[in-house]
């Protein structure tokens, strides 16, 4: 949150190996990064982030190199994603190109020197050995990775005009987006006869193409919208952003695809959304044309357009084997003539279609051509999401989608494979599925005006106001990748620094430590954190929290009577980041370095950033409160879009451009907000001047954080006393919610960010809030002239007391913090931390449940454990005995 945004992203230094001496210096001038999970067998290049301690390295005079296992320092494309308050480097992003060998570990070496690079030639690669060549012409941009040459037109409907191999063969052409929609959905099967449904077809229409590149990575960003190509005419809509990541030496392309839904929920029903490439097949014999579909657990359907196996007459074993292995078949002269003379009677299968319409099953079928019947192919459960079409002599194209079955309804089609030009279509939304219906799930229930809405909130806990539930939000289909390997597609290789190193640099906060297991009490707490991750992973699977709009999120509250999460009850359904589970799961990853935690938190971050937050319109930058549909609740709040939830991933990923863009959208959120100091200030405390001004403003309030709100001026970025107290005598307004949407984490970072330059009074104001939240009414009155009244979330707030106890070395407050944690409220000390199997007729399918568990409690419990262990773990044994 502190100091980033596109304006800051720049390449800081580049160095070829000729002028850089290897060093074994193990001080903080080097940082090790390792693969998350296993070292990949295949990777097309990788981007990652590295933190640096404050005051150590400076922009313009720092050089970066990378050392693999050989000790040889190599090229490293580098840029800055975050600065400390003193201007030193806090986070850098780096890219490594593709290579045949991947080391287990890389050491990133930073070195300060008097050498100052000429920033106006920031992307020059000097005498580098890089194979990456970018040609930025006026009508098209071409990126040559050394293995592939990809051409991107700058206008029109074609997003990728050609993909050529090193040998100059064209494996794909005319890449374009496809969108289909209709204006109405029949409510009953009988209504299908209604002829007045209007169908529209759209293709991509480019508005802008930009390219950014260094020695290892080129990023081509294409922006545009979908324009009518047929059917009922319709205005252009559904803006898209495509980000192509191309690494040096790589024979694959990664594409991050995102759209913003800017249609009308009751008129624009998406029926298909995809990307299509032409695959040239001219000159290739039908029996040399190969089709592949990834199935389940590494399974592959392996067929030829014209199969010569299983026939009544055998062409010869070597012929059959060649076809099965995807090799060019021997000359037909050498086949059994009884087959060769009858080849014309063997059908060619031009069309294949795989549809994953639920997370539990896919269907697969083929036909010879349009107009003929489909033939079913035995199918399976969870397709890994990859299709290939090509010829044995000229190569071909594989297209895959990450999390294919988890983001159903998805699909893969191959068409016209028996003609001169075949096609592969990757469906992000399968046309075989029901139309995407973004209408509200209820009709308003005759709620008439605000009184009724408020009363309804008492029962379903969902805010509903007419017009507030339009799903003008976007959906991201992360990482569409073209690659030959499904595991590479589904778990893209990631390089990360060690937890210990990240912790030492303090670049992601000082409110967490590595796991503490020095006594039984801390061991128990650590095991609870592990339990939380395992349980949510199991619930995602058992409850099938998958789907185009859903994947990445989980539910808010449990219904013990029905043994189900409350998926149909207002504000108890989708969680939408309520009470900061994002913070918990990222901190869990930072402490443990666990791969599953990273993947879990990444899916959550991408989901909440895309689907739960508005990207255009009046609510741009605001999030939606938890509800039955991700966007349905009328409460639009900055606390949901909170940048703090996304920054861990942003920095660790080396500045993921899509997340960066989402963070930028939020920078002006303050313009749409009245100012509540806890939940929304924490969300928009971005930008150094804004931050300094508002921090100064809070410090100057007579009652500091206890004031509850301040009057914010978005023109001058200043914060004064609330309208109820213009003279700043001191108002008392405390909410249990203020500190549960990232406030303690943001304040802790603000305090360490400013260091000695922290505006006077700010830290004291925060320490007071931490101390007095749970002090007795008498103490509150003595200090502020009024008591805070009845509050809750005491277990959650124990971490505030822990922080104050640590900062003021108050051992009695330490014990109070542990007491609040164990006995305050929230999760009981004797809670059972185990699951119960529910099966038989009590449930639809067997599930594990934990009756007492709710996401609000778990999120805040997890954060309290992590922070209490960081600040006051030494007193735990004393308290526990
Ligand atoms: C390691 O680097 C630090 C700072 O860059 C320097 O002070 C120290 O002398 C170096 N140590 C060795 C053994 O090179
Ligand atoms: C590129 O790949 C080739 C093998 O395909 C490898 O020998 C070479 O080292 C790689 N180049 C770089 C810069 O990684
Ligand atoms: C930096 O590079 C630009 C363009 O190559 C050149 O005009 C300028 O003189 C250079 N500046 C320095 C300080 O070398
Ligand atoms: C680049 O290579 C050329 C010749 O190979 C050499 O003269 C020149 O000094 C090199 N430049 C740098 C910055 O290493
Ligand atoms: C690429 O070319 C366009 C003009 O077509 C220009 O505006 C843009 O700055 C160029 N980008 C780079 C990275 O050179
Ligand atoms: C047919 O569709 C139109 C919308 O195109 C709708 O207004 C009408 O009610 C439908 N008719 C029936 C019988 O459902
Ligand atoms: C914060 O703003 C004050 C004036 O309002 C100024 O004196 C101070 O230097 C600023 N501090 C920082 C760290 O920018
Ligand atoms: C705020 O303070 C003013 C001045 O002391 C007082 O008149 C007003 O009632 C207070 N309001 C609240 C909500 O505490
Ligand atoms: C330490 O905290 C206790 C409450 O636990 C409080 O009574 C006491 O005044 C605090 N001591 C100091 C020095 O602030
Ligand atoms: C936990 O303790 C409370 C009383 O403090 C009791 O009501 C509850 O039944 C206990 N739960 C379990 C699982 O032992």
**pLDDT tens per residue across span 97-129:** 887 778 888 999 888 763 334 333 333 334 456
Copy the structure tokens of residue 484: 């030959």
Copy the structure tokens of residue 87: 């201007």
Answer for the pair 741, 676: CB distance below 8 angstroms, yes or no: no
**Per-residue model confidence (pLDDT) at position 114:** 37
What residue owns the CA closest to ligand 1's atom 9?
Answer: 25
**Residue 485: which H helix or E strand, with range?**
none
Does 411 or 881 have the greater pLDDT score?
Answer: 411
**Per-residue model confidence (pLDDT) at position 613:** 63
**Per-residue model confidence (pLDDT) at position 210:** 97
Determine, yes or no, domain membership for 266: no
Copy the structure tokens of residue 312: 């009544």
Long-range CB pairs of 111-120, under 8 A, 24+ apart, other chains included: 111/20, 111/23, 111/29, 111/62, 111/63, 111/64, 111/65, 112/56, 112/57, 112/58, 112/61, 112/62, 113/61, 113/63, 114/61, 115/61, 115/63, 116/60, 116/61, 117/13, 117/14, 117/60, 119/10, 119/60
Of the residues 124, 150, 168, the one at which a domain ends: 124
Q: Quick: pLDDT tens for 253-298.
A: 888 888 888 888 889 999 999 999 999 999 999 999 999 999 998 8
Confidence band of 75 (pLDDT split at 50, 70, 90): low
**Per-residue model confidence (pLDDT) at position 657:** 83
Answer for the pair 738, 677: CB distance below 8 angstroms, yes or no: yes
Ligand 6, residues 196, 266, 268, 269: which to mutate, most atoms within 8 A of Cβ?
196
Lowest mean per-residue pLDDT among 37-51, 67-81, 324-338: 67-81
Alpha-carbon distance values, 271 to 54, 198, 413, 612, 631 (Å):
51, 12, 15, 22, 20
**Per-residue model confidence (pLDDT) at position 442:** 76
Spatial separation of the C-alpha atoms in residues 660 and 257, rounded to whole Å:
15
Does 148 or 643 have the greater pLDDT score?
Answer: 148
**Per-residue model confidence (pLDDT) at position 406:** 94
**Per-residue model confidence (pLDDT) at position 637:** 63
Determine, yes or no, domain membership for 326: no
Of the residues 72, 99, 124, the one at which a domain ends: 124
**Three-class SS of 611-647:** CCEECCCCCCCCEECCECCCCCCCCEEHHHHCCHHHH
Spatial separation of the C-alpha atoms in residues 177 and 226, rounded to whole Å:
8
Alpha-carbon distance values, 549 to 130, 492, 609, 874 (Å):
40, 21, 12, 44
Ligand 6, residues 184, 266, 268, 439: which to mutate, most atoms within 8 A of Cβ?
184
Spatial separation of the C-alpha atoms in residues 420 and 645, rounded to whole Å:
50
Confidence band of 24 (pLDDT split at 50, 70, 90): very low
Confidence band of 448 (pLDDT split at 50, 70, 90): low
Mean pLDDT score of the chain, rounded to an integer?
A: 85
Confidence band of 878 (pLDDT split at 50, 70, 90): confident
**How many angstroms does the Cα of residue 514 sit away from the middle of ligand 1?**
26
**Per-residue model confidence (pLDDT) at position 65:** 86
Lowest mean per-residue pLDDT among 130-144, 514-528, 677-691: 677-691
Determine, yes or no, domain membership for 579: yes
Q: How many CA atoms lie within 13 A of 599 on its CB side?
A: 17
Mean pLDDT of 737-765: 92
Mean pLDDT of 73-81: 85
- CATH code at position 532: 1.50.10
Q: Is 187 in the pocket of ligand 7 (CB under 6 A)?
A: no
Determine, yes or no, domain membership for 796: yes
What residue owns the CA closest to ligand 7's atom 1?
Answer: 692
Does 563 or 738 have the greater pLDDT score?
Answer: 563
Cα dihedral sign, 65-66-67-72: negative
Ligand 10, residues 822, 823, 824, 828: which to mutate, most atoms within 8 A of Cβ?
828
Strand runs (DSSP E) across 682-747, as ranges?
711-713, 718-720
Of the residues 77, 94, 124, the one at which a domain ends: 124
Answer for the pair 234, 171: CB distance below 8 angstroms, yes or no: no
Q: Quick: pLDDT tens for 570-596.
A: 889 898 888 899 999 999 999 999 999
Does 880 or 213 have the greater pLDDT score?
Answer: 213
Determine, yes or no, domain membership for 60: yes
Confidence band of 398 (pLDDT split at 50, 70, 90): confident
Q: Is 725 in the pocket of ligand 8 (CB under 6 A)?
A: yes
**How many angstroms does the Cα of residue 131 sit away from the middle of ligand 3?**
25
Determine, yes or no, domain membership for 81: yes
Spatial separation of the C-alpha atoms in residues 260 and 610, rounded to whole Å:
9
Determine, yes or no, domain membership for 285: no
Ligand nearest to the CA of 112: 1
What residue owns the CA closest to ligand 2's atom 9?
Answer: 99
Q: Is 122 in the pocket of ligand 5 (CB under 6 A)?
A: no
**How many angstroms does the Cα of residue 609 sit away from the middle of ligand 3?**
40
**Per-residue model confidence (pLDDT) at position 262:** 83
Lowest mean per-residue pLDDT among 168-172, 314-318, 831-835: 168-172
**How many angstroms does the Cα of residue 876 sit away from the middle of ligand 6?**
67
What residue owns the CA closest to ligand 6's atom 14?
Answer: 191
Counting the structural domains of the chain, the total is 2
Spatial separation of the C-alpha atoms in residues 312 and 269, rounded to whole Å:
49
Minimal CA–CA distance to 415: which of 347, 348, 351? Answer: 351
Evaluate if residue 666 carries a pLDDT over 80. no
**How many angstroms does the Cα of residue 153 sit away from the middle of ligand 5?**
13
Q: Quick: pLDDT tens for 765-808.
A: 999 999 999 999 999 999 999 999 999 999 999 999 999 999 99
Ligand 8, residues 731, 780, 787: which to mutate, most atoms within 8 A of Cβ?
731
What letter would DSSP give residue 72? -
Determine, yes or no, domain membership for 155: no
Cα dihedral sign, 82-86-89-91: negative
Q: Quick: pLDDT tens for 454-496.
A: 455 455 444 433 333 333 333 222 223 333 357 777 888 899 9
Mean pLDDT of 649-678: 71
Does 190 or 544 have the greater pLDDT score?
Answer: 544
Instruction: Decide: helix, strand or coil at residue 808.
Output: coil
Does 484 or 194 have the greater pLDDT score?
Answer: 194
**How many angstroms does the Cα of residue 273 sit away from the middle of ligand 6?**
25
Strand runs (DSSP E) across 738-786, as ranges?
none
Q: Quick: pLDDT tens for 544-568.
A: 999 988 899 999 999 999 999 999 9
Which range, 19-23, 678-682, 737-741, is most confident? 737-741
Residue span of the structural domain in which 63 resides: 22-124
What residue owns the CA closest to ligand 6's atom 2?
Answer: 196
Ligand nearest to the CA of 789: 8
Does 623 or 716 have the greater pLDDT score?
Answer: 716
Evaluate if residue 72 carries a pLDDT over 80. no
* CB-based pocket (< 6 A), ligand 4: 18, 126-127
pTM: predicted TM-score of the whole model, two decimal places:
0.87
**Per-residue model confidence (pLDDT) at position 482:** 31
**Per-residue model confidence (pLDDT) at position 41:** 76
Ligand 8, residues 725, 734, 781: which to mutate, most atoms within 8 A of Cβ?
725
Q: Is 718 in the pocket of ligand 7 (CB under 6 A)?
A: no
Mean pLDDT of 33-55: 89
User: What is the percent of the chain where pLDDT is above 90?
Assistant: 60
Q: Is 734 in the pocket of ligand 5 (CB under 6 A)?
A: no
């Amino acid at each position: 949150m502190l100091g980033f945004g596109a304006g800051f992203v720049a390449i800081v230094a580049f160095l070829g190996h000729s002028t850089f001496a290897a060093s074994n210096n193990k001080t903080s001038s080097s940082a090790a990064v390792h693969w998350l999970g296993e070292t990949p067998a295949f990777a097309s290049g990788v981007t990652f982030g590295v933190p640096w301690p404050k005051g150590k390295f400076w922009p313009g005079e720092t050089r970066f190199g990378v050392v693999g296992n050989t000790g040889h320092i190599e090229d490293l494309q580098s840029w800055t994603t975050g600065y400390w308050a003193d201007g030193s480097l806090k986070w850098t992003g780096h890219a490594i190109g593709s290579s045949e060998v991947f080391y287990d570990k890389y050491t990133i070496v930073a070195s300060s020197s008097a050498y100052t690079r000429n920033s106006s030639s920031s992307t020059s690669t000097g005498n580098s050995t890089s194979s990456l060549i970018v040609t930025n012409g006026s009508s098209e941009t071409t990126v040559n990775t050394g293995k592939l040459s990809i051409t991107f037109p700058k206008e029109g409907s074609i997003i990728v005009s050609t993909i050529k191999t090193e040998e100059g063969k064209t494996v794909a052409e005319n890449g374009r987006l496809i969108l289909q929609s209709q204006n109405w959905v029949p409510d009953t099967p009988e209504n299908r006869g209604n002829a007045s449904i209007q169908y529209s077809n759209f293709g991509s229409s480019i508005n802008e193409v930009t390219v950014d590149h260094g020695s290892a990575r080129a990023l081509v960003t294409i922006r545009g919208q979908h324009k009518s190509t047929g059917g009922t005419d319709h205005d252009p809509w559904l803006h898209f952003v495509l980000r192509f990541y191309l690494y040096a030496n790589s024979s694959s392309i990664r594409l991050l695809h995102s759209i913003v839904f800017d249609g009308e929920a009751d008129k624009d029903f998406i029926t298909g959304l995809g990307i299509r490439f032409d695959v040239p097949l001219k000159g290739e014999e039908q029996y040399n044309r190969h089709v592949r579909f990834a199935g389940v657990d590494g399974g592959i359907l392996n067929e030829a357009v014209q199969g010569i196996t299983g026939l009544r007459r055998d062409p010869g074993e070597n012929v059959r084997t060649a076809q099965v292995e995807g090799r060019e078949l021997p000359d037909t002269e050498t086949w059994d003539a009884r087959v060769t003379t009858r080849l014309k009677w063997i059908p060619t299968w031009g069309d294949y279609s795989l549809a994953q319409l639920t997370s539990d099953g896919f269907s697969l079928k083929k036909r010879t051509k349009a107009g003929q019947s489909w033939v079913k192919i035995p199918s399976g459960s969870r397709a890994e999401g990859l299709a290939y079409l090509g010829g044995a002599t000229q190569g071909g194209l594989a297209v895959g989608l990450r999390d294919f079955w988890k983001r159903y309804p998805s699909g893969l089609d191959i068409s016209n494979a028996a003609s001169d030009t075949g096609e592969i279509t990757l469906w992000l939304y399968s046309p075989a599925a029901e139309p995407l219906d973004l209408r509200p799930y209820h009709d308003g229930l005759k709620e008439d005006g605000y009184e009724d809405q408020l009363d309804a909130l008492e029962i379903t806990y969902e805010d509903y106001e007419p017009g507030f539930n339009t799903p003008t939000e976007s959906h991201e289909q992360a990482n569409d990748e073209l690659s030959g390997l499904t595991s590479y597609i589904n778990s893209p290789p990631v390089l990360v620094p060690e937890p210990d190193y990240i912790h030492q640099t303090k670049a992601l906060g000082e409110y967490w430590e590595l796991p503490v297991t020095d006594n039984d009490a801390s061991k128990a707490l650590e095991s609870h954190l592990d339990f939380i991750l395992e349980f949510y992973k199991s619930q995602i699977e058992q409850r099938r929290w998958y789907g185009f709009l859903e994947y990445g999120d989980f539910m808010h509250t449990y219904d013990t009577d029905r043994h189900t999460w409350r998926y149909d009850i207002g504000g108890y359904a989708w969680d939408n980041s309520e009470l900061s589970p994002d913070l918990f799961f990222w901190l869990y990853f930072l402490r443990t370095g666990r791969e599953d935690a990273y993947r879990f938190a990444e899916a959550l971050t991408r989901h909440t950033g895309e689907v739960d937050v508005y990207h255009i319109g009046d609510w741009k930058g605001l999030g939606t409160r938890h509800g039955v549909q991700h966007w349905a609740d009328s409460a639009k709040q900055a606390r949901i879009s909170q940048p703090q939830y996304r920054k861990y991933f942003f920095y660790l990923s080396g500045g993921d451009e899509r997340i960066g863009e989402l963070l930028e959208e939020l920078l002006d959120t303050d313009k749409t907000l009245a100012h509540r100091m806890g939940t929304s200030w924490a969300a928009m405390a971005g930008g150094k001047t804004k931050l300094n001004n508002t921090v100064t403003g809070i410090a100057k309030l007579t009652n500091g954080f206890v004031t509850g709100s301040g009057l914010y001026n978005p023109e001058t970025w200043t914060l004064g006393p609330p309208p109820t107290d213009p003279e700043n005598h001191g108002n008392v307004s405390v909410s249990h919610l203020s500190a549960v949407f990232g406030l303690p984490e943001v304040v802790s970072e603000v305090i360490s960010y400013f260091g000695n330059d922290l505006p006077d009074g700010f830290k004291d104001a925060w320490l007071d809030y931490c101390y007095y939240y749970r002090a007795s009414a008498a103490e509150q009155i003595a200090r502020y002239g009024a008591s805070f009244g009845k509050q809750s979330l005491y277990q959650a707030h124990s971490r505030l007391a822990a922080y104050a106890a640590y900062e003021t070395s108050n051992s009695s407050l330490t014990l109070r913090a542990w007491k609040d944690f164990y006995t305050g409220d929230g999760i009981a000390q004797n809670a059972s931390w185990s699951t119960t199997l529910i099966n038989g007729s009590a449930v639809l399918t067997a599930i594990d449940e934990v009756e007492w568990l709710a996401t609000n409690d778990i999120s805040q419990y997890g954060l309290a454990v992590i922070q209490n262990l960081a600040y006051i773990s030494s007193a735990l044994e004393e308290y526990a005995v």
